[in-house]
C-alpha cells in the first residue's frame, strides 16, 4: 500500500476502527484479530504515554499542577478530563502534549509489526478518529455502528449507569450516524454477535483484495 498514511511504506494495510462509545469497537477488533489482524488500541497508547516517570507525565503535571496526581502517583484521569471538559484552551494544551507522543508510539509499533510481516493488516482502534482528524494515519476507515437506542442500552448495562448519565455521555460525542456517513466501511453491530462476525469475515476478504490490488 503505497498511498494513504504518510507514516509507513510497506504493503501493510492500516484500518482505522472507530464508532461511538460501547458501539462494539473492541468486539469487532477481536473478531478481526481471530482472522489475523493485529490491534493497536489508541486508548492503551494514551495511557502508556502518561505513565509516571514519562516526559509527558512531567509536562502535564507541570501545567495542571500536583492536584491531578492521585495518591499512588498516577495521573488522576477522571479529574483531568473534568478540567479539560470545561475549558477548551486547557483541552488543546493537553492534546498538544499527548498526541505527538501517541503518534510516535503508533509509528514505531506499526514499523515493528510490518518488519515481521510486510503484508500485515493492522487495526488502529481510535475512538475519536474523526473528531481529532486522524484519517491521514490510516488507509481505510471502519465505523462500528449501532442505532443510538441500542447503544444507550448496552452502555447502561455494561457500565451500570443511569439513562441520564448515558445520554450525557452520548451528547459529548459526534452522533454515530454522522460518523457512519464519513467511513469507508460500516459494520452494523445492532444484532447478534454471529451476525457481526459474518460481516467482519466479509470485510476481511474485501480488505485482502484491496491489499492485493491497491
Element (H, E) at 122: strand 121-125
Among 180, 189, 200, 204, binds ligand ATP (CB under 6 A): 189
Does 158 engage in binding with ligand ATP (CB under 6 A)?
yes
Name which position in 17, 196, 200, 203 contacts ligand ATP (CB under 6 A).
Answer: 196
Beta-carbon count within 10 A of 4 CB: 17
> What are the backbone dihedrals phi and psi of residue 4, each rounded to the nearest 5 degrees, phi first?
115, -125
Q: Which residues fall within 8 angstroms of residue 206, CB to CB, at 6 or more apart?
A: 185
Shortest separation between residue 158's beta carbon and ligand ATP, angstroms: 4
Q: Show the binding pattern over residues 122-141: x = contacts ligand ATP (CB under 6 A), - = does not.
A: -----x--------------
Least distance CB 104 / ligand ATP (angstroms)? 23
Question: Which residue shows C-alpha cell 495521573?
Answer: 75
- Quickly count: other Cβ atoms within 10 Å of residue 65's Cβ: 10
The residue range among 5-13, 15-23, 99-107, 163-171 that interacts with ligand ATP, by the rule CB under 6 A, is 15-23
Is residue 23 within the footprint of ligand ATP (CB under 6 A)?
yes
Q: Which of 67, 115, 177, 193 binds ligand ATP (CB under 6 A)?
A: 193
Residue 77 interacts with ligand ATP (CB under 6 A)?
Answer: no
| Separation between Cα atoms, residue 18 and residue 124, nearest integer Å | 9
CB-based burial, 83-97: b 16+ in 10 Å, e otherwise: bbeeeeeeeebbeeb
Of these, 7, 10, 11, 26, which contacts ligand ATP (CB under 6 A)? 26
Q: Interface residues with ligand ATP (CB under 6 A)?
A: 19, 21-27, 127, 154, 158, 189, 192-193, 196
Amino acid at each position: 500500500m503505497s498511498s494513504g498514511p504518510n507514516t509507513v511504506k510497506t504493503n501493510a494495510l492500516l484500518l482505522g476502527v472507530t464508532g461511538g462509545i460501547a458501539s462494539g469497537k473492541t468486539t469487532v477488533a477481536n473478531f478481526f484479530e481471530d482472522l489475523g489482524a493485529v490491534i493497536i488500541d489508541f486508548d492503551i497508547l494514551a495511557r502508556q504515554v502518561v505513565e509516571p516517570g514519562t516526559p509527558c507525565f512531567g509536562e502535564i503535571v507541570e501545567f495542571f499542577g500536583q492536584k491531578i496526581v492521585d495518591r499512588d502517583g498516577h495521573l488522576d484521569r477522571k479529574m483531568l478530563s473534568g478540567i479539560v471538559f470545561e475549558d477548551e484552551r486547557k483541552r488543546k494544551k493537553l492534546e498538544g502534549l499527548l498526541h505527538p507522543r501517541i503518534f510516535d508510539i503508533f509509528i514505531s509499533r506499526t514499523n515493528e509489526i510490518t518488519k515481521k510481516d510486510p503484508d500485515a493488516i493492522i487495526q488502529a482502534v481510535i475512538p475519536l478518529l474523526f473528531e481529532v482528524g486522524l484519517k491521514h494515519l490510516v488507509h481505510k476507515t471502519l465505523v462500528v455502528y449501532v442505532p443510538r437506542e441500542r447503544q444507550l442500552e448496552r452502555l447502561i448495562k455494561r457500565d451500570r449507569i443511569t439513562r441520564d448519565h448515558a445520554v450525557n455521555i452520548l451528547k459529548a460525542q459526534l452522533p454515530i450516524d454522522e460518523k457512519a456517513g464519513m467511513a469507508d466501511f460500516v459494520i452494523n453491530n445492532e444484532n447478534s454477535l454471529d451476525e457481526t462476525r459474518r460481516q467482519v469475515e466479509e470485510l476481511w476478504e474485501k480488505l485482502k483484495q484491496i491489499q492485493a490490488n491497491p
